[in-house]
């Protein structure tokens, strides 16, 4: 049996289960079983880490390619940090500071267009301190006048970085449509 890229002797495994279930003498000592189990865990952890590393490298390359091509598009502004944005609607209100609390509507997507979050779908805007969001948002919000709607193209280092828990996995660049509704 081949499971998760591991060769497992299904006959030996079944014989072990059968012996244990029937109370027969086991072929492996408890110490041998523990060593085998620990080795299995180690191999599985290494495989998970290898897959995560490969995914992180692939996502970073895809993000870099996307951002390089996107920077050439009309209306796209690239900041020194690498954050890119395009003004969809320019507001005329105040601009938040680092100490501000803002109310926004937003939609977040992966580079392939798959939506992973949306305040619009929840039917309620999101209120948060400017510094309580990803770095790309913190930077962009401090440039946006109230009433603006921007499309943000956020490199992975300004999003969730190498975290496997971020949308799209480690090193994913993300796209957000952000509408700044108000400042508290």
SS3 of the chain: helix, strand, coil, percent, to 5: 40, 25, 35
Active-site choice (85, 106, 153, 181): 106
Active-site choice (117, 120, 126, 183): 117
Spell out the alpha helix ranges (H) of the chain.
10-22, 30-70, 119-122, 135-141
160 is catalytic: yes
Active-site choice (85, 153, 160, 181): 160
Active-site choice (14, 32, 66, 176): 176
85 is catalytic: no
Active-site choice (10, 40, 88, 116): 116
Task: Give the three-class secondary structure for 7.
Answer: strand
> Beta 101-109 vs 84-89: how paired, if at all?
unpaired
117 is catalytic: yes
Active-site choice (85, 134, 153, 181): 134
Task: Give the three-class secondary structure for 122.
Answer: helix
126 is catalytic: no
> Beta 2-3 vs 6-7: how paired, if at all?
antiparallel
**Per DSSP, what are the bridge partners of residue 128?**
102
134 is catalytic: yes
106 is catalytic: yes
Give the residue numbers marked as catalytic. 106, 116-117, 134, 160, 176
């Amino acid at each position: 049996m081949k499971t998760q890229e591991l060769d497992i002797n299904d006959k030996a495994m079944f014989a072990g289960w059968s012996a244990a279930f029937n109370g027969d003498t086991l072929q492996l000592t408890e110490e041998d079983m523990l060593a085998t189990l620990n080795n299995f865990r180690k191999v599985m952890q290494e495989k998970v880490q290898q897959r995560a590393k490969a995914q992180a490298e692939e996502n970073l390359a895809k993000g870099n390619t996307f951002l390089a091509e996107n920077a050439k598009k009309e209306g796209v502004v690239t900041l020194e940090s690498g954050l890119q944005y395009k003004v969809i609607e320019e507001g005329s209100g105040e601009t938040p500071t680092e100490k501000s609390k803002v109310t926004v509507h937003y939609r977040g997507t992966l580079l392939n267009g798959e939506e992973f979050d949306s305040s619009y779908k929840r039917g309620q805007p999101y209120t948060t301190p400017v510094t309580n969001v990803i770095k790309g948002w913190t930077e962009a919000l401090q440039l946006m006048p109230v009433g603006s709607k921007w499309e943000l193209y956020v490199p992975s280092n300004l999003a969730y970085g190498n975290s496997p828990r971020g949308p799209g996995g480690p090193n994913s660049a993300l796209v957000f449509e952000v509408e700044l509704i108000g400042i508290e």
